[in-house]
Amino acid sequence: MKEQLELLWELQKIDLDLKQIKEERDRFPKEMKKLEEKQNLEKERFQKEKEKLESLEKERRKKERDLLMEQDKIKKAEGKMSEVKTNKEYQALLTEIETIKESAGRIEEEILMVLEEIDETKKHLMKKEKEMKANLEKIEAERKRIEERLAEGERAWKEKMERKDVLSKQIDSSLIKLYNTLKEKRQGIGIVSVKKETCQGCFVHVPPQMFIEVQKTNSLIRCPNCNRILYFEGDGEKG
């Protein structure tokens, strides 16, 4: 019986490990998806900043075109000077030229302001790009870590399944059957250790005589409260 219980104890540990691997397997894709979302958000944010720069450049080009048009108007108006016949006409033309020059001056000022904003946006963008790259690297590292753990889990899964197969053949089928039934009913735990006269599955006190019997590991003893098979791990854990 002692050997059978020891084998069953090992099987229980393997089953718990398998359960954990399975939980990670289920959890990791969700974590990966979250990382992907974070990655996209970083890129999107940067893209928005870039779009701001593009619209500023567009504004600059438009204002430069406007300025050229104004300058062209000035040239044309100045060209008319030679055709002027009266003083009134001359005065009117001067006023017109003056107005266009003022407008051109305003556009020039606006261009300078846009250029300044472009400069600042470029600096800001460079800083943001560095930040984005650092963040993307962090996310990538996290993704690699998850992938490695997944691969590790798969390797462990294979190993443990193989050992489980071996154990399942060595343990009496009736004992396996009982274990499986208990495991199903009791949150994946069919065999449980007893420490200090207490079942570690339900934490209910085990009668002293029963505890002594469990320590002998000679017979199949089950917790009077949760029905699980009791096991004594030994090694300084007496009493």
Q: Which residues bind Zn ion (CB under 5 A)?
A: 199, 201-202, 223, 225-226
* Shortest distance in whole angstroms from residue 232 CB to Zn ion: 14
Distance CA 56, CA 110 (A): 12
CA dihedral 218, 220, 224, 230 (to 10 degrees): 80
* Shortest distance in whole angstroms from residue 196 CB to Zn ion: 13
Q: Which is nearer to Zn ion, 46 or 179 (CB)?
A: 179
Distance CA 159, CA 200 (A): 27
* Shortest distance in whole angstroms from residue 7 CB to Zn ion: 21
**DSSP 3-state of 226:** coil
Distance CA 25, CA 35 (A): 16
Q: Which is nearer to Zn ion, 90 or 203 (CB)?
A: 203
* Shortest distance in whole angstroms from residue 169 CB to Zn ion: 28
Q: Which residues contact 21 (CB under 8 A, 6 or more apart)?
A: 153, 156, 157, 160
Q: Which is nearer to Zn ion, 219 or 225 (CB)?
A: 225
Q: Which is nearer to Zn ion, 175 or 194 (CB)?
A: 194
